[in-house]
Amino acid sequence: MKKLSLKTVPVIIIVVLFISFLISFINVIKKPLKTSDDIVIKVDEGDSFYSIIESLSNGGKLRGVPFIKTYVKVLDKNIEVKQGEYVLQKDISLDKLIETLTSESSLNTVNFTVPEGYTIEDIGEKLEEEGICSKEDFILAVKEYELPNYVKVNSEKKYNLEGYLFPDTYLINIGETPKDIITKMITRFEEMFKKAMEETNTTVKDEDIETVITIASMIEKEARLDSERPLISSVIMNRLNDGMMLQIDATVIYALGEHVDIVLYKHLEVDSPYNTYKNYGLPVGPISNPGLESIKASLKPEDTDYLFYVLQDDESHYFTNSYEDFENKLEELDY
């Protein structure tokens, strides 16, 4: 076996370093942001592309500034950023980032954020409050929208699209119709549902997506902590498998059509296919628009024997498989 000569070693080191540099360079160009969420940035008059990337870097939201500067210099890009607010998706490429900051059309856009767990009516109210469109026009567009093939039509549902308008921050062009806004939200839902399957190593057929989202929508309304979402998911699955009623307060609130801080016994009597205190199995459809973590929890519940949970003062839940234990906890917490 031949030994490497002393002259060969430096060459190998140089090649390895070059390959490492090239990989790092490509990774930065493909995905310069290092955030787990989309971010919103404001470009003021007098800002330059370089001041923006330095600010993002100092805020811990951008990597590889020297690579970015090298890329811009080599390609001789003359970047003139436009004043305004911009949504930068977490997986945006450098070319798309530059295009976003320099596009004339970006001057006529607004940012619209849909919080996790919002219902269609919540979204409509927020759109109206922010002057984007009226709630009435949005609801009408929801009802008239051509449904994706994975959404099951059911006349008993409040809205067939409930659950599929993904909660996120959207860049909306002035003059876009409610239908355009719905399309953006559904497109985002499909992207994030695919991501949820990848991250949980699961595969779901189109005909089963509604079941996943219905469970996720309840998890979204019930959970306070991300760490407990898979546990709540396990309770839902265990109760379904045991033939028990789900008895989830959030489904009653959705059935009522108005928010109540405390679900009373009289509320439990509401006659609705969403009321899981009166009907076995899942509600007729989703009761909110869930975020990524709730969808992942629905796809991959924790393996437990829990059948009950109760919200504690610190916003965490107490989980148990014993009804007696559950009752004692309710008494202890003065429910």
Which pLDDT score, from 0 to 100, does residue 298 have? 98
Confidence of residue 1 (pLDDT cuts 50, 70, 90): very low
Q: Say what the pLDDT of residue 36 is.
A: 80
pLDDT above 80 (res 280): yes
pLDDT value at 2 more than 70 = no
Greatest Cα pair distance in the chain: 87
Q: What's the count of helices (H) and strands (E) in the chain, helices before strands?
A: 12, 6
> What average pLDDT score do residues 65-83 get?
82
**C-beta of residue 225 within 8 angstroms of C-beta of residue 327:** no
What are the residues facing 40 on neighbouring strands? 87
**Is the predicted pLDDT of residue 312 greater than 80, yes or no?**
yes
From 212, 232, 235, select the one nearest 292 (Cα to Cα): 212
Residues 6+ apart with CB under 8 A from 94: 28, 29, 30, 32, 68, 71
Can you tell me which residue has the tokens 């107490």? 318
Kindly report which listed range (21-25, 44-48, 80-84, 191-195) carries the lowest average pLDDT score. Answer: 21-25
For strands 317-320 and 308-311, give the pairing.
Answer: antiparallel
The mean of the pLDDT values for the chain is 89
Residue 242 has pLDDT above 60, yes or no: yes
Residue 149: what pLDDT?
94
pLDDT tens digits, residue range 167-207? 998 988 777 899 999 999 999 999 999 999 999 999 999 99
What does the CA dihedral 285, 288, 291, 296 come to, rounded to 10 degrees?
A: -30
Yes or no: say if 167 and 115 are a contact pair by the CB < 8 Å rule: yes
Compute the distance between CA of residue 128 and CA of residue 135 in angstroms, rounded to an integer.
5
Residue 106: pLDDT band (50, 70, 90) is low
Is the pTM higher than 0.75? The answer reads no
Domain 15-102 = CATH 3.30.1490.480: yes
Task: Say if residue 322's pLDDT is above 60.
Answer: yes
* Position 117, amino acid: G
Share of the chain above pLDDT 70, in %: 92
Spatial separation of the C-alpha atoms in residues 190 and 165, rounded to whole Å: 10
116-139 per-position pLDDT tens digit: 999 999 999 999 999 899 999 999
Query: Hey, what's the torsion of the CAs at 182, 252, 204, 155, to 10 degrees?
Result: -60
The two tokens of residue 69 are: 């500067």
Is the pLDDT at 224 greater than 90, yes or no?
Answer: yes
Nearest to 64 by CA among 96, 26, 97: 26
Spatial CA neighbour of 111 closest among 9, 181, 62, 16: 181
Backbone angles phi, psi at 308, to 5 degrees: -140, 150
Residue 124 pLDDT: 97
Which band of pLDDT confidence, cut at 50, 70 and 90, is reported for residue 16?
A: low
Please, which residues have CB within 8 angstroms of residue 294's CB and are 6 or more apart in sequence? Answer: 116, 216, 217, 219, 220, 223, 229
Percent of the chain topping pLDDT 90: 57
Among 6, 292, 285, which Cα is nearest to 155's? 285
65 near 54, Cβ under 8 Å? yes
Residue 157's pLDDT is what? 96
pLDDT at 49 over 50: yes
Q: Which of 59-73, 208-222, 237-251, 314-328 has the lowest mean pLDDT?
A: 59-73
**Contact at 8 Å (CB) between 189 and 211?**
no
- Tens-place pLDDT, residues 21-35: 677 778 888 899 988
Cβ 278 vs Cβ 268: under 8 Å: yes
Q: Which residue has the higher pLDDT, 282 or 105?
A: 282
